[in-house]
Structure 1
Amino acid sequence: MGRQNPHPRKRRRRPAGNNRDPPNPKTDREDDMKRFFQPIAAGLATALLALTPVIGHADGMPEKTLSISTSGKGGAWFAVGTRVIREVEKANPGLVTQVQTGGGLTNLRKIQAGQADIGMTFAFAAPMAYEGIAPFKEKHDKLTYLGVLFPGYLQIVTKKSANITKFEDLFDKRISAGKIGWGGELMFRLMLDTYGMDYDKIRAKGGVINHIGTAQATQMMRDGNLDAIISGGSPPSHPKFAELSLTTPIDLLAVDGAGLDKIFAKYPSFVESTMPKAPYKGVDGGFRAIGGAVILVAKKDLSDEAAYSIVKSFYEGLDGIKADMKQLKEATFKAALSGNKGLPVHPGAAKYYKEKGLM
Structure 2
Amino acid sequence: MNTLKTAQLAALAMCASLTLPVAAQTIAMETAGAGSVLGLMPQGMAPDWSKAGVSLQLATGQTLTKSLLKMSKGSLDAAVVPPTAFAALKKGVGPYSSLGDKGKALAGNVRSLFSFGSSTYHMVVWADSGSAEWNQIKGKRVFIGPPAGAANSMIRSIVKAGSGYEDGKDYTGIKAPWNAAMQSFKDGQFDMFVSTLPVGSQALVELGMAKPFRLLSVPAQAEPSLGFTRTVIPANTYPDQVNKDQDITTWVSIMTMMVKKDLSNEIAYKLTKTYFESLDAVKKGNSMLAILRAEDRFASLVAPLHPGAVQYYKEAGVDIPARLLAN
When the two structures are superposed, what TM-score results if normalisation uses the length of structure 2? 0.74
SS of the residue corresponding to residue 166 of structure 2 reads: coil
1:319 equivalent in alignment to 2:280 = yes
**Paired residues of 1:85 and 1:97 also in contact (CA < 8 A):** no
Determine the structure 1 residue equivalent to 2:167.
Answer: 198
CA distance in 1, matches of 2:186, 2:302: 41
Please state how far the C-alpha of 1:238 moved relative to its aligned partner: 5.0
Output one character per residue of 1:57-110: Cα deviation in whole Å (capped at 9) or x when no partner.
2xxxx3x2432312x3543333334223343234448x3532321356454334
Change (3 A) 1:146 1:225: same
Distance change >3 Å, CA 353–CA 161, structure 1 → 2: same
When Rg is computed on C-alpha atoms for both structures, the one with the higher figure is 1
CA distance in 2, matches of 1:248, 1:225: 16
- Rounded to whole Å, the distance in 2 between the matches of 1:86 and 1:239 is 28
Deviation at 1:345, TM superposition (A): 0.7
**Structure 1 vs Structure 2: percent identity of aligned residues?**
21
> Are residues 295 and 319 of structure 1, via their aligned partners in 2, closer, same or farther at CA, if it must alter by over 3 Å?
same
Alignment pair present for 1:68 and 2:19: no
| CA deviation profile, 1:129-176 (whole Å, cap 9, x unmatched) | 453263243222222111122375443233334343233444544443
Note if 1:99 corresponds to 2:56. Answer: no
Separation in 1, partners of 2:219, 2:300:
28
Aligned 8 A contact 2:229 2:254 in 1: no
Aligned residue among 211, 221, 224 for 2:185: 221
2:91 maps to amino acid: G
The 1:96/1:311 distance shift into structure 2, 3 A limit, reads closer
Q: 1:307 aligns with which of 253, 258, 268?
A: 268
2:174 is aligned to 209
Comparing 131-140 and 296-305, the one that deviates more: 131-140
Please show how residues 155-304 of structure 1 align to structure 2 within 5 Å.
Answer: 155-190=122-157, 195=164, 197-199=166-168, 201=169, 207=172, 209-213=174-178, 215-231=179-195, 235-238=198-201, 240-241=203-204, 244-245=207-208, 247-256=210-219, 261=222, 264=223, 269=226, 273-278=230-235, 279-283=237-241, 284=244, 286-304=247-265
- TM-score, length-scaled by structure 1: 0.68
Which residue of the other structure, out of 311, 318, 322, is the alignment partner of 1:358? 318
Q: Output the CA distance in 2 between the equivalents of 1:247 and 1:286.
A: 23
The aligned amino acid for 1:165 is A
The residue type equivalent to 1:109 in the other structure is L
Structure 2 contact 227–300 (Cα < 8 Å) conserved: no
Q: Partner letter of residue 132 of structure 1?
A: K
Instruction: Give, as a single letter, the amino acid of the residue that structure 2 aligns with 1:189.
Output: R
Residue 328 of structure 1 corresponds to which residue in structure 2?
A: 289
Q: Aligned residue pairs: how many?
A: 305
Structure 2 residue ranges without an equivalent (≥5): 98-102, 320-327
Stretches of structure 1 lacking an aligned partner (at least 5 in a row): 1-32
The residue aligned with 1:37 is: 5
Q: CA RMSD in A?
A: 3.8
CA distance in structure 2 between the partners assigned to 1:105 and 1:230 by the alignment: 21
Q: Which amino acid aligns with 1:252?
A: L
Shift of 1:356: 1.2
Query: Which residue type is aligned with residue 216 of structure 2?
Result: L
- Whole-angstrom distance in 1 between the partners of 2:173 and 2:228: 28
Q: In structure 2, what is the Cα distance between the partners aligned to 1:151 and 1:65? A: 22
Which residue number in structure 2 is paired with residue 132 of structure 1?
A: 91
| Shift, 1:277, TM fit | 0.8
**1:237–1:354 Cα change, 3 Å:** farther
Report the secondary structure of 1:56's partner residue.
coil
Tell me how far apart the structure 2 counterparts of residues 221 and 268 of structure 1 sit (CA, whole Å): 26
- Measure how far apart 1:295 and its partner are: 2.7
Q: Which letter does structure 2 place at the counterpart of 1:300?
A: K
